[in-house]
Structure 1
Amino acid sequence: MLKIYTDSNFLKADNRKKIFPLLFDMVYLPNDKTRSCFVLTDSLSEADIAVFPVDIVSFLKDNKDNFLEKWIERVSEYQIPIWVYAAGDLGFSLKKTNVFTFRFGGFNSKLDSSTFVMPCFVNDPYRNILKNDFFILPKGEKPSIGFVGNANGSFLKWSKEFALHIKRNLSNLYSGNREDYHSFFPAPRKRYLLLNRMVKEDQIQDNFIPRKKYRAGAVNTNVTKEQTTLEFFENIQNNLYTFCLRGNGNFSVRFYETLIMGRIPVLVDTDVRLPLADEIDWKSHCLIVSEKLIVEDLITFHASKTDFELQEMQRNNRKLILEKLNRIDYFIQLSSKIKPE
């Protein structure tokens, strides 16, 4: 059992949305698994690790008295690993000795060994959205690939995206926000161009529903949101493959939604780091492609796999999320790697 020290003053209802993900399951949704693996302690001398309780990206915006720096300095005297959580699309890694940063994305070539990429902790659509249980798709003659989402090739959309990029960078510069700098990446236009390349290929069975706006510009009503959400997950369910490309941050939520649905992500490589890459053979769970060769790689991959192999991938992908990359089991695995002997 891992003994965790944290600042209990932050464990209140107001911080529910920005709490360190592991603490969420220990404080707000306690369960038998977290109780058997983790326990909070008020004693630093007894603790195995120290966890800063809330997202450091938002916290540092108002950190006028250097609370975080002082907290880390005090905890460091006990020579135990310190875990911090950098939320948001961009995030950043705290460069301090014995501090391990957990974040959702970033560029693999720029992240050091003290940065841990978390999966996006997605809910199971088969439990509360779809009207059927998980089933296996057989191998078709052609690779069937789906996508529902914002894919817009217009210059107006590109211009708006670029303006938002400049605005965010200026805001970060003058506010002292410590999020990583990301060069301009017009994701909607990139998606539009790559999808069009697959549409033109006769050897690919495409099932794309491009939207000009996020959620098709759905208004804030339950009926409209339910409809667009159902269309999104039915598209993943009905296609063996799903096209996945990063958004504002260098990661894809759709990638993990495809895995939990028991389908195969086609992930465009943008120098992405995937979770537990030293333990998980990601090539056995997804197809990672370059922008340049996405069409050729998809056709070759599909042709190289037997029906049995593709069915096993589907089962193993769903199992991967349910047993390894959910919020609790992910941290159970990490605790065994970081906990001192």
Structure 2
Amino acid sequence: MSNILNLYTDLNYLPSGKNVTIMLYPFFDSPKEDINDPDYGRFENYINNSSKIFKLVNNENDADIVVLPFEFSFEESDIKIAQKFVNNYKKSNKPILVFYNSDYDYNIPLDNVIILRTSFYKSTKSKNEFALPGWSKDFYNSRFNETTKKPVNPSISYCGYIDYLRPSLKDILNNYKDKLTSKTYNIYEIGPKLRGKAIRNLIKSKGVKTNFIFRNGFWAAGLDKKMAREEYIQNMYSSDYALVVRGAGNFSYRLYEVLSCGKIPVFIDTDCVLPYDHIIDWKKYVVWINQKDNISQRLIEFHNDISDKDFYQLKQNCRKLYEEWISPFGFFSKLNNYLDFEKNN
């Protein structure tokens, strides 16, 4: 397989009113963007440089990959169209790529395909499922110069929504009730609870400097979007480490945003699948926290054990990882690693 992958798709299978999937943006009309959207232009670098890695061909027989033209969804009509697409093109014996960017971890009812998705679980993933990053705009800003000397105490940032900082009587009663009834939370409760637990632990620690901004809801409800995003980015740059916990889906946009800033993620593992984790040793790039760990204790231990030189280098490596493997262009440029792995396993 050459360095440039030949792609084939069929727009006859693009549902009315749907956009093409991100991978195909360079070859067709990508969605119109609102210039006031904080993520405006996030795929520009990929679109402008896609010819270095992909070529669109007119015949599936000339393709290295066949791509479902739209992002899969569980709308009944979309499922039927996707199944027809797969049934029609599986005879080409080419890998068929399907994208699913969603908080939900449902099984996708398509056979003989390679699925790239955001939310699923390592313990239950199928061998044809691989991790897709959640992409925001690249946060990197060269104005923020990194110090080469490691501070005495670790500093950690967080900006967002949690369940509560100090429990009210209602919170205490609800937690007690949940334990008695073994309540299963809906997906929109999981992230705030996990983040809240971590935040409360970190705030109590005298050995950790915390830089936290709390929002009243998801996406900083009630605030100007651009202002909220700027505060979010400034907060991330205020510390060497950043708290990363899953959201509604079992993945985190924040993980990739932190890497783009060249900061060190303090990553709470919730049985996540991470991009290219059969190649990338993610524990070399993040402070890996198991859910039962004392997060402040683990962070302090990590910070004390790392040398000044390695501390500075790790932040450089985090940025490099984002550029080469996680950014839209970086991710797609490494796609053959998924194809080869799926083929050989």
SS at match of 1:186: helix
Which residue of the partner structure matches residue 226 of structure 1? Answer: 226
Q: How does 1:35-184 map to 2 (within 5 A)?
A: 35-57=51-73, 60-63=75-78, 66-94=80-108, 96-126=110-140, 133-137=143-147, 138-153=149-164, 155=170
What letter is aligned with 2:158? F
Q: How does 1:166-315 map to 2 (within 5 A)?
A: 185-219=189-223, 224-293=224-293, 294-315=295-316
In 1, Cα distance between equivalents of 2:98 and 2:268? 28
In 2, Cα distance between equivalents of 1:83 and 1:304? 43
Instruction: Structure 2: state its 5+ residue gaps.
Output: 31-43, 175-183
What letter is aligned with 1:61? E
- Range 108-117 or range 325-334, more displaced: 325-334
Q: How does 1:1-16 map to 2 (within 5 A)?
A: 1-9=4-12, 14-16=17-19
In 2, Cα distance between equivalents of 1:212 and 1:44? 50
In 1, Cα distance between equivalents of 2:11 and 2:77? 19
Q: CA deviation at 1:337?
A: 4.3
Equivalent pairs, count: 309
SS at match of 1:338: helix
Instruction: Say if 2:187 and 2:249, in contact at 8 Å, map to a contact too.
Output: no
Instruction: Say if 2:25 and 2:47, in contact at 8 Å, map to a contact too.
Output: no
SS at match of 1:56: coil
C-alpha distance after superposition, 1:9-48 (max 9, x if no partner): 46799433xx322112333368563223222223122222
Instruction: Say if 1:57 and 1:91, in contact at 8 Å, map to a contact too.
Output: no
Instruction: Say if 2:103 and 2:119, in contact at 8 Å, map to a contact too.
Output: yes
Which residue of the partner structure matches residue 165 of structure 1? Answer: none
What letter is aligned with 1:194? A
What letter is aligned with 2:250? N
In 1, Cα distance between equivalents of 2:15 and 2:88? 23
In 2, Cα distance between equivalents of 1:75 and 1:214? 40
Instruction: Say if 2:26 and 2:48, in contact at 8 Å, map to a contact too.
Output: no
SS at match of 1:207: strand
Which residue of the partner structure matches residue 335 of structure 1? Answer: 336
In 2, Cα distance between equivalents of 1:97 and 1:62? 17
- Range 300-309 or range 284-293, more displaced: 284-293
Q: TM-score, normalised by structure 1?
A: 0.81
What letter is aligned with 1:319? K
Which residue of the partner structure matches residue 35 of structure 2? Answer: none
Instruction: Say if 2:140 and 2:262, in contact at 8 Å, map to a contact too.
Output: no
Identical columns (%): 27
What letter is aligned with 2:302? F
- Range 118-127 or range 21-30, more displaced: 21-30
Instruction: Say if 1:120 and 1:256, in contact at 8 Å, map to a contact too.
Output: yes
- Range 287-296 or range 132-141, more displaced: 132-141
Q: 1:44 to 1:136 in 2, by over 3 A?
A: same
Instruction: Say if 2:188 and 2:247, in contact at 8 Å, map to a contact too.
Output: no
